[in-house]
Structure 1
């Protein structure tokens, strides 16, 4: 243990940009309480603080069972009866189960009181309700058995064979029934994958898990009827259930059991929530003198599971009901009382009905972004002609929007944000405009308004640059060329050069045979998508700088591409044989979710970016006739059209602001138009910065 502590201390002495300080839990709870982070994010952070990690099967993050209904065709997320009882451990969801566990505890308590007998190799331990645990390596591998590399780990764990078919994870309903009612020893909770990763429910590799006693072959996991046999839909609905008002108000009770005051002591006995003593945080193995007992204890800790570190010692606060989102209705300077006075005198708001995202699921939330079907209609709040066509619009995490000329790329780095999302604001540390397309094939940088551009990179004659993309965190620059080669440049900030940046190394990525027409970086998922005249569309891994896969099946070259920051989904557009465009939606792992034909040509696409679970994001398409059409990212149903009678020119670029409150569009004549929700016209507009071709000239 001393070695471990020394290593830990020496790690802490380094400058760790992503270090999550243990201890600032109050700030975290406040963010959650005020609705600034979702239930999913909050539980993820609590798991981290309690010592859980995706790198340790024995202390894997633990998530709660949320629903108790895995048999109905339809669901109403506003109906409390479809949820599990979050104030009780999973094994005692039904009153009639409680007595058996209480009796076990009483019996063990008696034995413990009697004390050890002389000849007993294992003296009695402190009493407990459950001899097994809600999270351990066996549980995690049981759920992830279909997904490499976990399959291999499972086989190593099970003497190189899969489990008995009836015991293999084969049905969500069976898993719920066993945990909550049918089995005395199975007290599993869930893993985070149930809320974001459809792939683990599918037997993509075609493993032979054998045949169950009823003659059914174990293959993909059987899903509830309300998921319509679609793993992606199951995960999306399940994530919305986790973010429902009912769960938001009651998840505090589950936190009490797993991370809080009902984890130990008298409260844990009353809550029927006591596990084997070997599973608790801080069990000191080295204090046991007898080598046999010590080995037995070590084995128990390795196999039983471990209870998370206790984070709270008093009852956790409940999150209030539907949150008061006054933001943006009146200027912030107006006091709260005045705002409430204003609210009282308003007309009673009529309940507007909007289409449900899925007809058989009630209570799904579209979200608060501009254009959301459940939000007030979008209205124009900004319009500015520039007289020159932009190449692209880009939303920055500082809330600003940039309009960039056709051969410009915005390079910037941000001050590293410590800790939790949105605790600190994002500040720009360094920025510059990169321009290309010069006769001498030099990429030039301009970082100061008053000074002319500086030569930055000389690209070779055969690699004429046609497009660029920048990754802020890692200072990576990607260029696409006329011949189809992509070059990745690794750079670092330095004070020794006038441009304050220098290129350290470069590497070529091969996959296309003709001109690269677009590069799209999706930083949260560390991928880049490149498209080319030759009709190919390739996904690259930004961390390893290697090919991942091609998105195949486009009948003509991809003309527009975008990736979602929240889900990693990828949208591609190509011309359709009979006119108009085809829009395709792919998962980050390259599965085609669906495609839809659009009679008009789609000139540009962008995703809305609101948190998953509390929103159903849309793909916004800028059409050739000046209209913006929105499609649901769940099933590509068209959900809204945003039209501006005065503008009917093609929309060549569009983007949502980083908070989703504004949608900016640029048309082929250089006019930039911004939209906001009708009820947010008084909200401060994001700053708009334009960098037109003249910027790089002087």
Structure 2
């Protein structure tokens, strides 16, 4: 063990030959093993300083606090809910083969059980050398499982799955967990309808200033524990829901970031930038893991479905990239192959994909809404809806209609099948972003207010004071009872429904 916890952590995280593991004492109550109480002469480091007590990270006030926080982390709900992922790596189906390669969980061949029979080596010197090498690298545990290990059901997850009321669901920022039970699916759909029926009771839960410039994107992990936001200040920020504080701030370039997207693995955040690139941030490792240099102008928006990434750019194209999950190369762009390039007449400002992943809608700077078939990459509809830039566009939940808002103050509904504008409502101010259920719209206005619209009557049914500047980003969970908004005022607001 080196005498600096931080250096050891970094070596294990980034080094290819450092496989240290924490001994049980790190989770006990006796911290004497971290101290040189006998003042033994342990030599000097390369910088000339004498080796003495173990140097603790800055978040530990003393040795006892260091152990206590280790124990608390080990027993935390987060570890319980993700324990199955560690089992998959150490004892399960990600220990060997292609799944291990994809998970970057590959070790020296001699560490795996049954890879070599030392007794069959007749040469004594070779056998001793082989045993010495095995002892040096350690040994991988026996593989116990060949399929994904089930997730542990914690009290929080259990209560989430059984929740049937708006009041209990409102406390969760996370989307509904997938479930094969049709009764749960019915419950989820009913909960959504109830949520939209009560959207006027949306209340502010908390607020915090997170950026130095306007917020441009919001993404949330599936368990709702971490919230990510991008901004024109060029940073990606990570907020902990449980700790109610910001934990990380990352900058990939000196240009504004335009949006962020949580990938389905729940471990990677994609960030689009005005510098024409898309950056991929690893949540577990806390660092940039890849860069996609795919456009000739700013990347404004992204969509993801299965293994395909759709990047919309001001260079008047939307590019479709296929992810290669089995690729082991660390070179840039090595994980993505260009499948298609969707041409537009003007810069593409926004994009959205329908729930089934079969349709893509794009909104351009010239006010055109284009609907694409993601199977054939052909244009299904191209409708000039607005005069000027389209700020936001989204499919209805049933994929039959598209709603768009623009700088001309109009809200337009387009029928996907016919390309006809079926509804046109002019607001008193620009609407910058929104969520909708096909009829009711919750929009973020230029003034900073949240507006609740009834599209059938074209009227505002509720005005909710929110930001001191334009509402520039909005996220809503799958149950439609929790909302996060970001604004020009550099703040993020957390909202929930109240019965």
Distance (whole Å) between structure 1 residues aligned to residue 222 and residue 426 of structure 2? 33
**Cα offset for 1:385?**
1.1
Match of 2:464 among 637, 642, 650: 642
What is the CA-CA distance between 1:572 and the residue it aligns to? Answer: 0.9
Change (3 A) 1:651 1:553: closer
> Is 1:588 the equivalent of 2:429?
no
In structure 1, what is the Cα distance between the partners aligned to 2:170 and 2:479? 18
User: Hey, what's the Cα distance between the residues in 1 that align with 2:166 and 2:450?
Assistant: 28
- TM-superposed CA distance for 1:631, in Å, is 1.5
Relative to its length, the structure with more strand (as a share) is 2
Taking a change above 3 Å as real, the CA distance of residues 675 and 513 of structure 1, as seen in their structure-2 partners, is same
**Residue in 1 aligned with 2:260?**
409
Q: TM-score, normalised by structure 1?
A: 0.38
TM-score by length of 2: 0.51
TM-fit CA distance, 1:623:
0.9
- Is residue 381 of structure 2 the alignment partner of residue 549 of structure 1? yes
Q: 1:324–1:409: structure 2 CA closer, same or farther, 3 Å change rule?
A: closer
Q: Does the CA-based 8 Å contact 1:607-1:620 persist in structure 2? A: yes
Q: 1:490 aligns with which of 319, 322, 325?
A: 322
Alpha-carbon distance in 2 for matches of 1:643, 1:384: 16
Q: Give the whole-Å Cα distance in 1 for the aligned partners of 2:474 and 2:273.
A: 22
Indicate if the aligned counterparts of 1:373 and 1:639 stay in contact, CA closer than 8 A: no
Which residue of the partner structure matches residue 217 of structure 2? 392
Q: Following TM superposition, by how much is the alpha carbon of 1:515 offset from its aligned partner in structure 2, in angstroms?
A: 1.9
Tell me how far 1:402 sits from its aligned partner: 3.7
CA distance in 2, matches of 1:584, 1:506: 31
Taking the aligned partners of 1:387 and 1:327, their CA distance within structure 2 comes to: 31
> Which residues in structure 2 correspond to 1:477-556 (within 5 Å)?
477-494=309-326, 496-498=328-330, 502-510=335-343, 512-524=344-356, 526-556=358-388
Per-residue CA distance 1:259-291 (angstroms, 9 max, x = gap): xxxxxxxxxxxxxxxxxxxxxxxxxxxxxxxxx
1:656-678 residue CA offsets vs partner (Å, 9 max, x unmatched) = 22211112211102211122222
CA distance in 2, matches of 1:387, 1:574: 25
**Partner residue of 1:624?**
446
What is the alpha-carbon distance in structure 2 between the residues aligned to residue 397 and residue 455 of structure 1? 22
Output the CA distance in 2 between the equivalents of 1:665 and 1:324: 25
Task: Return closer, same or farther for 1:394/1:569 CA change in 2, 3 Å cut-off.
Answer: farther
Please name the residue that 1:436 is paired with.
273
Structure 1 residue 498, shift from structure 2 partner: 4.1
Change (3 A) 1:442 1:619: closer
Q: In the TM superposition, what is the alpha-carbon distance from 1:636 to its structure 2 partner?
A: 3.7
Q: Which residue of 1 is the match for residue 165 of structure 2?
A: 325
For CA contacts below 8 A with separation 6 or more, give which structure has more relative contact order. 1
Of 292, 304, 326, the match for 1:457: 292
Residues 677 and 494 of structure 1: CA distance in aligned 2, closer, same or farther (over 3 Å):
same
Conserved? CA contact 1:487–1:509, under 8 Å:
yes
Aligned to 1:350: none
8 Å contact kept, 1:629–1:641: yes
Kindly report which structure 2 residues correspond to 1:333-412, keeping only aligned pairs within 5 A, or say none.
367-369=193-195, 372-374=196-198, 377-388=201-212, 389-394=214-219, 398-399=223-224, 401-405=227-231, 406-412=257-263
Partners of 2:219 and 2:262 within 8 A in 1: no
Post-superposition shift, 1:584?
Answer: 0.9
Note the residue ranges of structure 2 that are not aligned, 5 or more in a row. Answer: 1-160, 173-189, 232-256
Secondary structure of 1:407's aligned partner = strand
- Note the alpha carbon deviations across 1:650-697, whole angstroms, 9 max, x for none: 111123222111122111022111222223xxxxxxxxxxxxxxxxxx
Q: Contact 1:409–1:433 at 8 Å: present in 2 too? A: yes
Shift in Å at residue 452 of structure 1? 4.5
1:667 aligns with 2:484: no
Structure 2 CA distance, aligned partners of 1:330 and 1:457? 37
Indicate the residue corresponding to 1:599 in structure 2.
428
Matches within 5 A, 1:276-287: none
Q: Distance in 2 between matches of 1:566 and 1:628?
A: 24
Q: Is the 8 A contact 1:570 1:587 kept in 2?
A: yes
Asked whether the equivalents of residues 280 and 291 of structure 2 are also in contact (C-alpha less than 8 Å), the reply is yes
In the alignment, which residue of structure 2 is the partner of 1:677? 497
3-state SS of 1:524 partner:
coil
Larger helix fraction of residues = 1
Shift of 1:546: 1.9
Paired residues for 1:63-78 under 5 Å? none
Structure 1 residue 509: deviation in Å? 1.2
1:52-103 CA deviation, whole Å, 9 max, x = no partner? xxxxxxxxxxxxxxxxxxxxxxxxxxxxxxxxxxxxxxxxxxxxxxxxxxxx
Aligned with residue 304 of structure 2, among 436, 458, 471: 471
Going from structure 1 to structure 2, the CA distance change for 1:574 and 1:330 (only over 3 Å counts) comes to: closer
Q: C-alpha displacement at 1:331, in angstroms?
A: 9.5
Structure 2 distance, partners of 1:444, 1:451, is 13
Q: Which structure 1 residue ranges, 5 or more long, are not aligned?
A: 1-35, 38-322, 333-363, 415-427, 609-615, 680-698
Root-mean-square deviation over aligned CA pairs = 3.5
State the Cα distance separating 1:399 from its structure 2 match: 4.5
* Distance in 2 between residues matched to 1:432 and 1:505, nearest whole Å: 20
* Higher alpha-carbon Rg: 1
